[in-house]
Chains A and B, each alone.
Chain A
Amino acid sequence: MKKTNIEEINRNIYDIKNKDEYEYKIKKGLTPEIISEISKQKNDPDWMREFRLKALDVYNSLELPTWGPDLSELNMDEIATYVRPKTNLNSSWDDVPEDIKNTFEQLGIPDAEKKSLAGVGAQYDSEVVYHSMKEELIKQGVIYTDMETAVREYPAMVKAHFMKCVPVYDHKFVALHGAVWSGGSFVYVPKGVKVDIPLQSYFRLNSPESGQFEHTLIIVDEGASLHFIEGCSAPKYNKVNLHAGCVELYVKDNASLRYSTIENWSKNMLNLNTKKAIVGKNAKMEWVSGSFGSKKSMLYPMSILNGEGSKTEFTGISFAGKGQNLDNGFKVVHNAPNTSSVVNAKSISKNGGTCTYRSLVKVSENAKNSKCSVSCESLMLDDISRSDTIPTNIIETDEVEFSHEAKIGKLSDKTIFYLMSRGLSEEDAKAMIVRGFAYPISKELPVEYAVEMNNLINLELQGAIG
């Protein structure tokens, strides 16, 4: 993969608020009438409208999780679940309205598209405002489009996969997602097609007291490969915003998929995102995940290793500052023989922030000769921050190699003195230690995102944001 350098991104851009202008904003709350109205606004086919209403019933029947961060502050009566920006879907940045285009330009998206991406989707509030993919991929039969277009143009494929990997019964916020989902990306990579350059979707939530519920559905067919990058951000408001996206990944036999995310939400955001992959025979699923920002986060990507010889790797980092409670982790189910999983999770907490690594490893009885290695490491930058590890391991066969290693460390004064004796200020010294700690994660990211991640770390350490 070709790597390019872009200029370091100024953090302040994440907090630039555009005027809350929209073409349509649904009234706040959740009722069958509101859901039907969203469906009407989106020109859903009948099956989708019925799906949404059923999901709403499921939502109403499920309780909030009894574990993890307290979500009682979330009042769905105060959240607008659908906000349509003042533009249609465009395939040229020139057609995207100026203020929205500026936002994405400042986030570096059109620039990255020119330099290092094979395709880009950009979502603003509830709808995708820009989508484009390189000609050669279209010729190879690759489909990369917004989810609404997919529902219209590829109904069979969508119906067969939509919320089948992540059923609405999984938990309350998945049910909510099913009822109000809007936007997101659909990708299909045909058999044997290798997409060498990444595709990227960027999700920007601008509107206050609203929610973003994008749906990403990716199917990498047999023997194909893809690297997909997802970026998210939002400016800061005083009231709670909600992100409850859903990512469904199908990695068919002998295929490989790398899914990289940098989530950088503002600190009024509840991030309740659900991501799951079903991995086929000898296929490989790699997750690279950076979780920054958000007030509370519950994010546990999951790989289900259904095919014999399938593999998954998870590399992730969370950074919690003041007032943040990030409850993140990874889940893997080994359902077939000779499967393997490698987990490398790190967390950093400072200024009273809480990071929890919560994980599930399940090795079922027929997953003979499987391997699972979990390593989680946390770094606390002061005495008032918190770090917890809550693993659940269910191993149903003896024929498995399983290891779990957890390490908790603190920033040491000796190390800071050592670096300061080499001319680094205290701030520089801390930033260097933290960047070094995060390096095993950032090296897995394309250069642009590694730079962005290092910037986020520096800014978190300066306390420049909220």
Chain B
Amino acid sequence: MSNELLEIDNLYVNAEDKKILKGINLKINKGEIHVIMGPNGSGKTTTANAILNNPAYHKIEGNILFEGEDITNLKTDEIARKGVFMSFQLPEEIPGVSVSNFLKYAKNKITGKPIKLLEFKNELKNYMEELKINPDYIERSLNVGFSGGEKKKNEILQMLVLNPKLAILDETDSGLDVDAIRTVSKGIEMFKNKNNAVLIITHNTKILHSLKVDYVHILVNGKIVKTGSAELAKEIEENGYEQYKLS
């Protein structure tokens, strides 16, 4: 059986008629942690949105395969049900829908199975403890009145509960203090196993210190200009993106 989870082949994507991605290639296998780094406006968030086929982004050329199946034009919810998850940079607020009801509903949709309530409750409680989320939040409206850090932790909670095969974390670390970054890293470690994969999208390197990263890709101006090991992130930390911008 193939180990391959995601394959992006020569992907071109426009947003509002602007060319953003200009021929992206990327392969992610089970058990791997990948990082896409790049300066603002390089196309990082577009890559994440394109994988989940956000209708606001238009694919011009290229394919996306997930476990060998072409998902390029599937609807977002179908892609989610195949096992792709995205942690949002700016999670949406849903008034009147509690965190617990939302997750119950989403988990049912993702798994297609009825939710065993007690088991679900315990699982949720356990994850919330690990992520240091106030237990009262469970009955609060999803993301409404949450601070930036609380929203991000809630995204990680959703990732743990929905247990995807591929988790894409779009700038999950941005705007977080040191403690929150540590908690998010811990969540990723809890999630990670040899059968799933993580794609971390970031423009800084703090979150990478505590995670065992397999590949780092440098995205500049809609193209992956370099791929390397975790060492590459350290190099960026020291020298920035300037040299790649020029190339």
Contacts and interface: CB of A to CB of B under 8 A. Distances in A.
A417 B141 contact: no
Given A413-B56, A432-B105, A436-B141, A421 B86 contact: yes
A419 B85 CA distance: 11
Interface string B43-60: 000000000101110000
A8 to B, nearest CB: 15
Nearest to B81: A423
Given A421-B85, A422-B158, A424-B109, A435 B96 contact: yes
Interface stretch (B16-24, B72-80, B213-221, B227-235): B72-80
A437 B76 contact: no
Given A413-B55, A417-B54, A436-B141, A423 B95 contact: no
A426 B55 CA distance: 12
Interface in A430-445: 432-433, 435-440
A423 B97 contact: no
B193 to A, nearest CB: 21
Nearest to B106: A422
Interface in B69-120: 75-77, 80-81, 85-86, 88, 91-92, 94-97, 102, 105-106, 109-110
A433 B94 CA distance: 7
A414 B92 contact: yes
A456 to B, nearest CB: 16
Given A435-B96, A435-B97, A439-B96, A418 B91 contact: yes
Q: How big is chain A's contact interface, by range?
A: 20 to 34
A417 B56 contact: yes
A432 B94 contact: yes
B162 interface: yes
A60 interface: no
A414 B109 CA distance: 19
A425 interface: yes
Given A413-B55, A417-B54, A432 B97 contact: yes
Contacts of B95: 436-437, 439
Given A424-B109, A432-B105, A436-B141, A419 B94 contact: yes
B162 A422 contact: yes
A423 B112 CA distance: 10
Nearest to A428: B109
A440 B96 contact: yes
A9 interface: no
A417 B55 CA distance: 8
A417 B94 contact: no
B105 A421 contact: no
Nearest to A432: B97
Contacts of B105: 424, 428, 432
A386 B85 CA distance: 36
A164 to B, nearest CB: 40
A405 to B, nearest CB: 15
A420 interface: yes
A419 to B, nearest CB: 7
Nearest to A377: B95
Contact of B96 (A415, A420, A424, A437): A437
A418 B109 contact: no
A424 B106 contact: yes
Contacts of A426: 75, 77
A413 B106 CA distance: 18
B94 A415 contact: yes
A425 B96 contact: no
B106 A423 contact: yes
B127 to A, nearest CB: 16
Contacts of A428: 77, 105, 109
B162 A423 contact: yes
A413 B56 CA distance: 9
Contacts of A433: 94, 97
A407 to B, nearest CB: 11
- Considering residues A412, A423, A432, which has the most beta carbons from chain B within 10 angstroms of its beta carbon? A423
Nearest to A429: B77
Contact of A436 (B81, B97, B106, B158): B97
Contacts of B141: 436
A423 B159 CA distance: 12
B94 A436 contact: yes
Contacts of B97: 432-433, 435-436, 439
A424 B105 CA distance: 8
A424 B162 CA distance: 12
Contact of B80 (A414, A415, A423, A437): A423
Interface in A94-151: none
A426 B60 CA distance: 23
A421 B96 contact: no
A191 B173 CA distance: 63
Interface in A3-36: none
A423 B141 CA distance: 19
A428 B110 CA distance: 13
Given A426-B75, A437-B96, A421 B109 contact: no
Q: Which of A425, A435, A436, A437 has the most CB of B within 10 A?
A: A436
Contact of A422 (B55, B80, B96): B80
B94 to A, nearest CB: 5
B169 to A, nearest CB: 13
B15 to A, nearest CB: 13
Interface in A201-256: none
A437 B54 CA distance: 24
B170 to A, nearest CB: 11
A26 B200 CA distance: 74
Centre residue among B85, B86, B95 by max chain A CB count within 10 A: B95
Contacts of B80: 420-423
Contacts of A424: 77, 105-106, 109
6 contacts: A421-B88, A422-B80, A425-B77, A436-B96, A437-B96, A438-B96
Given A432-B105, A436-B96, 11 more contacts: A414-B92, A415-B92, A415-B94, A417-B55, A418-B92, A419-B92, A421-B76, A421-B80, A422-B109, A423-B109, A432-B94
Listed from nearest, the 8 A-B pairs whose CB atoms lie closest are: A436-B96, A439-B96, A423-B109, A420-B76, A436-B97, A418-B92, A422-B106, A423-B110
